[in-house]
Amino acid sequence: MVNKEFFQALDVLEKEKKISREKLIEALEAGILFAYKKETGETRQVVVRCDEARYTIKIYAYRTVAETVEDPEKEISLEEAKEIKSTYKVGDIVLEDITPKNFSRIAAQTAKQVIIQRLNDASRDVVMSEMTEREGEIVSATVRRKEGTNYFVEISGNQMEGILALPDQIQGERLNIGDVIKVYVKKVRSTDFGAQVVVSRSSAGFVKRMFEMEVPEIRSGLVRVNGIVREAGYRTKMAVSSDDPSVDAIGACIGPKGSRVNAIVAELGGEKIDIIPYCADPLEFVARALSPAPVQMVQINEEEKKAKVVVADEKLSLAIGKQGQNARLAAKLTGWKIDVKPYSEVMKTLTAESGDGEAESENA
């Protein structure tokens, strides 16, 4: 079998599918071998050899030279081998060219199916490896379909399928078939139907990567993201810092006239983003984390990792946030359990305690 054009087509496949030459040849040989055995019923040991230099594909039956032949289909005696070639010795492999002049249409179709399957498997492995390396990155994807509450997207550049499950969607965001969106690659998993990429738009990592893309100072390491927490669709809190006193970490993230943070807010559908200056002092960090609410006082219990925060009465709802969201995110960001109290309640408690103390003193 000689086909120069076929071998030249491997060059195109290698570039388009990003499959190594060795994998392509392996798939080709496997397909031809399977088709040949199925058509001829050959029971001997058979091997397919592709010679790219001569543009040939040969099929050989092979046997091992043995002193004592126990299986004639796998072994050949030394005497018989020497009749074919005098230099043969025990342990050598004797090849017999059994290449047919033509493959039947059915055999050719069988070979094609095996080759295509092998190439698809190899292509999937290549893409899976490529996507595994991109875990934790943001990629562009096109929404292709919706099944139940899950969206299925096509990753741009490699046509890999990604799943955007309900927990990974931004609350309240509506996606339409054909929309091109940015997604965060959470992980790559293997399923019965092949490799699948699990993507997200709700993870805190998505917002962090967005800032890395928008803020050169973060990419270069001048500004560091010390922590980030999020309730997708509502609010994100991110603590940043810089070791360079000449660098304004907050200003860098916000950008000129708010251009950088506004671009991210637009991508997130209007989600609020609090950018907080990080501080190693837990008292100060807890106070800052409750932004945008101003804090009057912070008391901490280091053993229980608890913080009691006092705010003005009119700022209580702002500090706690809708359904406790602001205080909850602040607690996640700092790692401290936060109990927010209004100033009037604290003063009332102090007054009561003071009165009790005076009464006890008088009784004594």
Q: Is the pLDDT of residue 67 over 80?
A: yes
Q: Is the pLDDT of residue 301 over 90?
A: yes
User: Using CA atoms, how far apart are residues 160 and 180, in angstroms rounded to an integer?
Assistant: 14
Q: What percent of the chain has pLDDT over 90?
A: 55
> Residue 18 carries which DSSP code?
-
Taking phi first (over 0 means left), then psi (-120 to 50 degrees means alpha), and beta for anything else, what does residue 147 get?
A: beta
User: Using CA atoms, how far apart are residues 73 and 139, in angstroms rounded to an integer?
Assistant: 55
Q: Give 356's pLDDT tier (boundaries 50, 70, 90).
A: low
Domain ranges of the chain: 4-130, 134-200, 280-364
Domains 4-130 and 280-364 share a fold: no
- pTM as predicted: 0.67
Tell me, what's the pLDDT at 359?
Answer: 46
What is the CATH architecture of 280-364? 2-Layer Sandwich (3.30)
Q: Give 113's pLDDT tier (boundaries 50, 70, 90).
A: confident
What is the CATH architecture of 134-200? Beta Barrel (2.40)
More confident position, 326 or 38: 326
More confident position, 335 or 31: 335
User: Using CA atoms, how far apart are residues 124 and 127, in angstroms rounded to an integer?
Assistant: 5
User: Using CA atoms, how far apart are residues 75 and 328, in angstroms rounded to an integer?
Assistant: 76
Tell me, what's the pLDDT at 16?
Answer: 65
CATH of domain 4-130: 3.30.1480.10
Sign of the C-alpha dihedral computed for residues 62, 68, 73 and 77 taken in this order:
positive
Q: Single out the residue of 200, 208, 157 nearest to residue 182, CA to CA.
A: 200
Segment 300-320 mean pLDDT:
94
- Which of 74-83, 97-106, 191-200, 281-290 is predicted least confidently? 97-106
Segment 23-27 mean pLDDT:
79
3-state helix, strand, coil in the chain (%, to 5): 45, 30, 30
User: Using CA atoms, how far apart are residues 265 and 270, in angstroms rounded to an integer?
Assistant: 5
Q: What is the pLDDT of residues 175-217, one digit of tens each?
A: 999 999 999 999 887 766 666 789 999 999 999 999 999 999 9
Q: Is the pLDDT of residue 364 over 70?
A: no
Tell me, what's the pLDDT at 252?
Answer: 96
Q: Is the pLDDT of residue 338 over 80?
A: yes
